[in-house]
Amino acid sequence: MARSRSNPLALAVLALLWERPMHPYEMSMTLRERGKDESVRLNFGSLYSVVDSLEKHGLVAAASTEREGNRPQRTVYRITDEGSREVVDWLSDLLRTPTKEFPQFEAALSFLPLLPPDDAVRLLRLRVVALERRQAALRGSLDEAVATGLPPLFTVESEFEGALLRAELDFVTDLVTRLGDGTYPGVDLWRRFHADAGPDGRIDQTAVEEAVTAYIQSVRSGP
């Protein structure tokens, strides 16, 4: 009986129906209008199945089916009492308890040493440029929202996105610098085992392991 809470789109649906009854297509359009599709992954396929699942669990209910002109018939849903409780509960949980996320970039950094150091630096420099573009775009849309007079409270999530973006930009900028000038600890080692690679880029793994072990020895016995 317990619903899974895995898809935040369900939260968005509940939050919208908490305001007033809607049919699914209207929900998607409202989310778009308010720019919430930037903070909640929205796609049509998921939307309809999420609504179905909420209905099955009694958190929303079909309020009416109507037909406007000769358009396809559509079902208007409303939130139930249980749904109202659930949305407050879920939202509270999300605010109170940080969730472990797995950003793609973090995964990529995990395997950074697989690439030759110079390639890695070149790619990260390109990332910096791309991040700066995104930052400009975000700032632009925030300014626009403020210009319409919408209180910033209703766009906090974008401010948050901006904060993360800035943090990433600072991090990558610093990383690129230190990888580039070799002051990041381990770059020498990294460079060495990629220099020993064959012409096809293949690396002798035994050599890598030995190099890492040697490094560790030297650090441990060091000062």
Closer CB to DNA, residue 26 or residue 142?
A: 26
Nearest distance in Å: CB 69, its own copies: 26
- Given the rule CB under 8 A, which of 49-57, 59-67, 70-78, 143-151 is the region that contacts its own copies? 143-151
**Biggest alpha carbon distance in the chain?**
82
Contact 13, 21 (CB under 8 A): no
- Given the rule CB under 7 A, which of 36-44, 135-143, 145-153, 158-166 is the region that contacts DNA? 36-44
CB atoms within 10 A of CB 86: 22
CA distances (Å), 33 to each of 6, 27, 29, 145, in order? 24, 10, 6, 11
CA distance linking residue 144 with residue 166, whole number of Å:
20
Question: Which amino acid, one-letter code, is at 97?
Answer: T
Partners of 74 in the β-ladder = 66
CA distances (Å), 203 to each of 115, 136, 188, 190, 199, in order? 11, 40, 16, 11, 10
User: In this chain, which of 29, 52, 185, 210 binds its own copies, going by CB under 8 A?
Assistant: 185
70 binds DNA (CB under 7 A): yes
Using CB under 8 A, count the residues that bind its own copies.
Answer: 83
CA distance linking residue 131 with residue 167, whole number of Å:
11
Closer CB to its own copies, residue 73 or residue 114?
A: 114
Contact 145, 151 (CB under 8 A): no
Nearest distance in Å: CB 147, DNA: 22
- Given the rule CB under 8 A, which of 50-58, 68-76, 98-106, 136-144 is the region that contacts its own copies? 98-106
| Structure tokens belonging to residue 56 | 């099955």
123 binds its own copies (CB under 8 A): yes
153 binds its own copies (CB under 8 A): yes
| Structure tokens belonging to residue 212 | 């890492």
Closer CB to its own copies, residue 4 or residue 148?
A: 148
- Partner whose footprint covers residue 53, from DNA, its own copies, none (CB < 5 to 8 Å by kind): DNA
Closer CB to its own copies, residue 73 or residue 159?
A: 159
CA distance linking residue 27 with residue 47, whole number of Å:
9
Binding pattern to its own copies, positions 160-179, x when CB under 8 A? xx-xx-xxx-xx---x----
Closer CB to its own copies, residue 62 or residue 123?
A: 123
Residue numbers at the binding site for DNA (CB under 7 A): 3-4, 6-7, 9, 23-26, 29, 41, 43-46, 48-50, 53, 68-75
